[in-house]
Amino acid sequence: PGIQTTIDARHFAISAKIPEFSNKGRTLVVQYSIKFEQEIECGGGYIKLMSGYVNQKKYSGDTPYSLMFGPDICGTQTKKLHLILSYQGQNYPIKKDLQCETDRLTHVYTFILRPDASYSLLVDNRERESGSMYTDWDILPPRKIKDVGAKKPKDWDDREYIEDPDAVKPEGYDSIPREIPDPKDKKPDTWDDDDDGIWKPRRIPNPAYKGQWKRKKIKNPNYKGKWKIPWIDNPEFEDDPDLYVLKPLKYIGIEVWQVKAGSVFDNILICDDPEYAKQVADETWGANKEAEKEAFEEAEKERKAREDKEAQQAREEGERRRRERGDRHRGRDHYKDRYKRVSSHAVRFLPEATLELFEVSISDYHPS
């Protein structure tokens, strides 16, 4: 079941008119399933919802849309999940980097948009992303901005630790030497003070020496934390209580380019009940996911076994051809050697008049 792309390296476009749907004052739920049966390499798998009049005979990538939702894959770099909303005739992609599934199994994508402009994104009936249109799309200016003119107050103490003002340097601390004579070092029996000078033990680091004295650190009782630029109301922000409202939806369409065709679009649903959408996903996708996975894994095993067999046959065929070439080379060498011995033997019995000519012919055949 479903709609499947068929021919490689093609642009596909198909649309259908739907009963008009307005999400003003209610939740919008858009859900569908997509299966990349092929190694898609590069191509889209998204759907579009359109408002107003659409000339379906000329439906294309230039046709305005109100919502674009779904995966787009190209090579190893692009594995994007598109979520684009139209506001006052301009398209705004979500700012988050959403990733799509890339295997060859069926996956269900669900977008939920609520009247408070919050949204949820589900993949296979599990929430993968959520947020608000106010923050995750650059549609309206932000409510709050940083006060670039603010300066840290002079009395702001952002030192988390300070030196202990009550610490006192121990008496005699500065007189502790850095090095001391090694108590284990003994004067050699052969040492002669007259000849060798006054013997002194070698010096070693003094374990009692602690370096330059420093006051220990303590928590700063006046610490106020790291100062941050404060946020203020953005004077350019003007709220739109209908930010979430799309123009009444009248058409749904699939408009994609694919290097390798074979994608299956199915179970498209537009409604206002997330629980109902979840139930539909469970009944259509959830009931078959394990069987599909097992069938896919079994097909992969058969494919691998077939490829291994073909590779083994190719290796055996290559080995057979190498043996045949070796046999032919040995046959030619045997023939050459036999011809050379026979010819050399015949020379001894040829008349002197023909000897010179025959030697030339042997030399031509065996230059060595």
255 belongs to an annotated ligand binding site: yes
- Average pLDDT for residues 225-249, to the nearest whole number? 96
Proportion of the chain above pLDDT 70, given as a percent: 86
pLDDT attached to residue 302: 67
CA distance 326 to 84: 66
Residue 125 has pLDDT above 60, yes or no: yes
| 128-167 per-position pLDDT tens digit | 999 999 999 999 999 999 999 999 999 999 999 999 999 9
Give pTM, 2 decimals.
0.67
Q: Given this structure, which CATH class describes domain 3-140+243-287?
A: mainly beta
What is the separation of C-alpha 141 from the centre of its chain, rounded to a whole number of angstroms? Answer: 31
Q: Where are the domains of the chain?
A: 3-140+243-287, 297-365
Write down the residue that tokens 């060798």 correspond to. Answer: 196
Helix (H) or strand (E) holding 233: strand 231-233
Residue 358 has pLDDT above 50, yes or no: no
Which residues in 275-297 are b (16+ Cβ under 10 Å) and which e? eebbebbeebbeeebeeeeeeee
CA distance 335 to 207: 92
If one compares 264 and 358, the residue with the highest pLDDT of the two is 264
48 belongs to an annotated ligand binding site: yes
109 belongs to an annotated ligand binding site: no
Helix (H) or strand (E) holding 194: helix 193-196
CA distance 283 to 265: 16
